[in-house]
Amino acid sequence: MLTVHAQLEVVTGLTRQTPALLVLDEFAGISRVDGAAGVLRTHLQPQYQALGLVFAGSEPSMMRSIFAEQHQPLYAQADLVELGVLAPADVAEVVADGFQATNRRANDLGFHIAAFTGGHPQRSMQVADAAWRSVPRGGVADDTTWAATLEDVRAASANGLERLFSSLAPRERDVLRIIAGGGSPFGAAAEPFGLSPGAAQHARGALLDAGHLHVVGGRLAVVDPVFADWIRLRLPI
């Protein structure tokens, strides 16, 4: 904890010289460190005029708890903003511009990326980077580029997704498999798993809270498109 105090002193010391913006990613994890949120508030709150703060996190329920429950040290210290997905046209435009700026041609690669990622910001960046590395300087994306891109992304993500899936409760894994496969955990697709409505409801709530599921157009969907792709390939129904 002494190291944390020292690091925060460095940050606040810098803001006395020039205004700054501090982005704290995966901030929900702070709830698992006793007293950490209080320490952060003690150091950073007095610098509010010179230090902008962005708290980012992928666990919606925990992020709401940190800032919306009165017993929390950071209660009412931030505005809650939910970021949506990127529009397909925007993904395609960014990819095309990035390729062109580095002497490459993307052709329709950006639309392939947008369709696969569903506009998920981090995965769109990851897949776009893999696609860019598949095309040499002066080259043009062709029919083989997308296949090579998918192979690269799947290989790079497989071990981490295997560990993530294994860390979930059995019923949560069942629900993810059903939803990734396009079914409903409350319908006929649940029968082969012996999944009762009560167990499905409990798993659904846990997955929503953890940020693994969200509701799109009135239907449940896996948030991470690469995770959904891994589930479908690794554990087809």
How far is C-alpha 97 from the chain's CA centre?
A: 24
Torsion of CA 140, 143, 149, 151, to 10 degrees: -150
Structure tokens at 72: 């929390």
pLDDT for 38: 86
Residue 1 has pLDDT above 70, yes or no: no
The band of 100, judged by pLDDT with boundaries at 50, 70 and 90, is very high
pLDDT for 119: 94
Domain 168-234: assigned CATH number: 1.10.10
pLDDT for 88: 95
User: What is the rounded average pLDDT of the residues 84-103?
Assistant: 95
Residue 70 has pLDDT above 90, yes or no: no
Q: Write out pLDDT tens, residues 23-66.
A: 888 888 888 888 888 888 888 888 878 888 888 877 777 788 88
The band of 75, judged by pLDDT with boundaries at 50, 70 and 90, is confident
* Torsion over CA: 228, 231, 232, 234 (sign): positive
Nearest to 227 by CA among 122, 93, 135: 122
Q: Write out pLDDT tens, residues 178-195.
A: 999 999 999 899 999 999
For the chain, what are the domain ranges?
Answer: 2-68, 88-157, 168-234
Residue 2 has pLDDT above 70, yes or no: no
